[in-house]
Amino acid sequence: MESARWWRRSTLGTQGFRRPGPEGLALGNASFPSNQAGESSSQRRSAPVDPGMPLQVSDYSWQQTKTAVFLSLPLKGVCVRDTDVFCTENYLKVNFPPFLFEAFLYAPIDDESSKAKIGNDTIVFTLYKKEAAMWETLSVTGVDKEMMQRIREKSILQAQERAKEATEAKAAAKREDQKYALSVMMKIEEEERKKIEDMKENERIKATKELEAWKECQRKAEEQKKIQKEEKLCQKEKQIKEERKKLKYKTSTRNSASRNLAPKGRNSENIFTEKLKEDSIPAPRSVGSIKINFTPRVFPTALRESQVAEEEEWLHKQAEARRAMNTDIPELCDLKEEEKNPEWLKDKGNKLFATENYLAAINAYNLAIRLNNKMPLLYLNRAACHLKLKNLHKAIEDSSKALELLMPPVTDNANARMKAHVRRGTAFCQLELYVEGLQDYEAALKIDPSNKIVQIDAEKIRNVIQGTELKS
């Protein structure tokens, strides 16, 4: 046999098919019962040939048992690759141009288990019946063209549905395989992760043990050094004691010799030594009290222009402002101790302002004001941020609040008051309220008359006001 392959289903169209001629019946033999008694070994059928239509094959043979049908179909020299087989439970078609074979089966077959073998220029079909029974013919008789067309279309729809089901089943199986592969990969990764964690834990335990052993060695070394040090001290103490004993022995021998030489002067010597002992002990200190005087604060202002009362009031207000802390804020529970300090928040806001991060600087000043709303520099710095962000009304409000807290006007707060007037005047000018802005600039010049920049800006505002009046 040249080649053998399982048959396949096809969805070729049915246009141009011709109705076959009379069915050919196979003669029974020892292993297969005859289909009809008295039939010849093979019956041939012939059909008129139409050159525009495929040639219907009539020289086929078939045999059957109760459970299967065996159909032999010659290929008539057509190449195996050009052969197309389509089969459903009620319809069988073999297309090998220019020849065509089709059969509208007598009864349903199991097309899933049926098979075909190709070899020796012949196709041999083994069709398994769904119901065990003997067929009268291979194809149904008395079928008109409309019924044939319906059977063909129904067969094609069934084949398409089965192909769709097979595709969906294949896709579902592929998804299940992917899911299983994913679960296996996840399991492998989990095992690898656990393995790595176990290795890390073992390394950590090993390092901990090594560290503990090193600490133990260090502790033993320290103890050994301590013991050696104590031994050296004991040896030194023993040496000192021995030297003292020797010195005492020498002094005792000298005393005994002096006693023998001058017994009369014994009492005078004892009195002299007693006086030396009394003189060597210092007398107790006398009880007394020490007075501390603080240097009085001197103000640089002349006495005729003295603002002592105002400066004392300003210092008192500053001291109260430093003590006025509001710590009952829910947001403070997550902050560090240094972040609860208004001075620290002010410095933080100044750094953010220097990096042109004005929104973050405003947030820092806001929290500082919530902690302590008596510090004028917080409002003054926040007004500068609002000016940069063109929040002009808020800049005016913060500048006014800073001026309110910068009272009474003294030399210590003159620079801050000057800045507050300039910032509020700038906000007024940007709102085109030039008269109010000029008033603030003139107030700033009264505080610092030598400031050239403020003088130039005030002159520009006057020119703008005069030009507006001339136009009006």
Tally of domains within the chain: 3
Domain extent, residue 128, equals 55-142
Same domain, 158 and 187: yes
Same domain, 363 and 462: yes
Looking at 84, 116, 142, the residue that finishes a domain is 142
251, part of any domain: no
CA within 13 Å, CB half, 211: 6
Please check whether residue 377 is in contact with residue 347, taking contact to mean a CB–CB distance below 8 angstroms.
no
Q: Report which of 426, 345, 436 is spatially closest to residue 384, judged by C-alpha positions.
A: 426
Classify burial at 400, counting beta carbons within 10 Å of its beta carbon; exposed 0-12, middle 13-18, buried 19 or more: middle
Q: Is 109 helix (H, G, I), strand (E, B) or coil?
A: strand
Same domain, 94 and 187: no
Helices in 121-144 by DSSP H: which ranges?
none
Query: How many C-beta atoms surround the C-beta of residue 53 within 10 A?
Result: 14
| Domain at 119, CATH number | 2.60.40.790
pLDDT for position 250: 72
287, part of any domain: no
Same domain, 123 and 169: no
Same domain, 115 and 214: no
pLDDT for position 20: 35
Same domain, 64 and 160: no
Q: How far is CA 323 from CA 4, 83, 260, 302, 316, in A?
A: 103, 103, 84, 31, 11
322, part of any domain: no
Q: What angle do CA 63, 69, 75 make, to 5 degrees?
A: 75
340, part of any domain: no
Q: Is 9 helix (H, G, I), strand (E, B) or coil?
A: coil
Same domain, 134 and 158: no
pLDDT for position 449: 92
Query: E strand or H helix at 401, and its extent?
Result: helix 392-405
43, part of any domain: no
Looking at 191, 210, 240, the residue that finishes a domain is 240
Same domain, 152 and 111: no
Tens digit of pLDDT at every position of the chain (472 positions): 333 333 433 333 333 333 333 333 233 333 333 333 333 333 334 344 455 578 888 888 999 998 999 999 888 777 878 788 888 888 888 888 888 888 888 889 988 889 898 888 888 999 998 888 898 888 888 778 888 888 888 888 888 888 898 899 999 999 999 999 999 999 999 999 999 999 999 999 999 999 999 999 999 999 999 899 888 889 888 888 888 888 877 777 766 655 555 444 444 445 445 554 555 566 677 777 777 777 766 555 555 555 666 777 777 777 777 666 666 666 666 667 777 788 888 999 999 999 999 999 999 999 888 888 888 999 999 999 999 999 999 999 999 999 998 888 888 888 999 999 999 999 999 999 999 999 999 999 999 999 999 999 999 999 998 886 555 5
Q: Report which of 14, 7, 9 is spatially closest to residue 161, judged by C-alpha positions.
A: 9
pTM, full prediction: 0.37
| Domain at 361, CATH number | 1.25.40.10
326, part of any domain: no
pLDDT for position 386: 94
Q: Hunting for tokens 């194809």 — which residue is that?
A: 139
412, part of any domain: yes
Looking at 220, 240, 260, the residue that finishes a domain is 240
20, part of any domain: no
Same domain, 148 and 138: no
pLDDT for position 118: 85
| Cβ partners under 8 Å of residue 12, min gap 6 | 84, 86, 93, 95
